């Protein structure tokens, strides 16, 4: 026969287990709600608020959805012009293994977008191709290198300096001095 002490201990363990599961469910639900809020805010173009919601979701450290949050966060960071951070967020989402085709496709796409803005054309093309490979509905954008300013031709500066020097000497000469 089981003693009263053991039954109380078993009941106590069951209560503790239930509260741990309940706390985990609460964290999952809260993080999920914040992730959804982040997506909605980003779709409305409210990127600062979307980023704040995504970071609040990550604070719950729910491994079941962190990869989703990071993939979405990468896209938000691109829209905010924070490209290096976007690449890091995408890489964080891509580091999670498993059958995460949709998440990885979004992460690769957002990474490609960030890399394109950083001028890393080949890496961007590879990321976009990988995203398209995982989800053929994602288009592969045409990427052209970001135009850079052509260097100022040195000969123009040399001619300008020579002309300026010539004019200065001509203007300093007194009218009665020979050329």
Count CB neighbours of 41 within 10 A. 19
**Cβ 72 vs Cβ 96: under 8 Å:** no
Q: What is the pLDDT of residue 14?
A: 43
Enter the tokens of residue 112: 């490609």
Position 70 confidence tier, pLDDT thresholds 50, 70, 90: very high
**Spans of all domains in the chain:** 21-147
> In terms of CATH, what superfamily is 21-147?
Tetratricopeptide repeat domain (1.25.40.10)
For residue 18, give the 3-state DSSP assignment: helix
The pLDDT of residue 7 is above 70: no
Encode pLDDT of 115-157 as tens digits. 999 999 999 999 999 999 999 998 889 887 655 454 545 555 5
- pLDDT tens sequence across 36-60: 999 999 999 999 999 999 999 999 9
Helix (H) or strand (E) holding 155: helix 154-172
What are the structure tokens assigned to 65, written together?
Answer: 């959805």
Between CA 26 and CA 130 the distance in angstroms is: 35
């Amino acid at each position: 026969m089981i003693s009263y002490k053991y039954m109380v201990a078993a009941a106590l363990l069951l209560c503790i287990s239930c509260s741990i599961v309940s706390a985990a469910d609460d964290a999952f639900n809260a993080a999920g709600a914040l992730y959804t809020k982040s997506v909605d805010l980003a779709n409305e173009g409210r990127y600062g608020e979307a980023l704040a919601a995504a970071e609040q979701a990550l604070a719950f450290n729910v491994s079941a959805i962190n990869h989703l949050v990071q993939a979405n966060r990468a896209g938000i960071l691109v829209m905010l012009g924070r490209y290096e951070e976007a690449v890091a967020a995408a890489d964080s989402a891509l580091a999670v293994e498993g059958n995460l085709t949709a998440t990885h496709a979004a992460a690769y796409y957002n990474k490609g977008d960030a890399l394109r803005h950083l001028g890393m054309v080949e890496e961007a093309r590879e990321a976009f191709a990988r995203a398209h490979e995982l989800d053929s509905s994602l288009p592969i954008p045409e990427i052209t290198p970001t135009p850079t300013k052509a260097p100022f031709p040195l000969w123009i500066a040399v001619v300008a300096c020579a002309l300026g020097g010539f004019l200065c000497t001509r203007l300093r000469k007194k009218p009665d001095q020979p050329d």
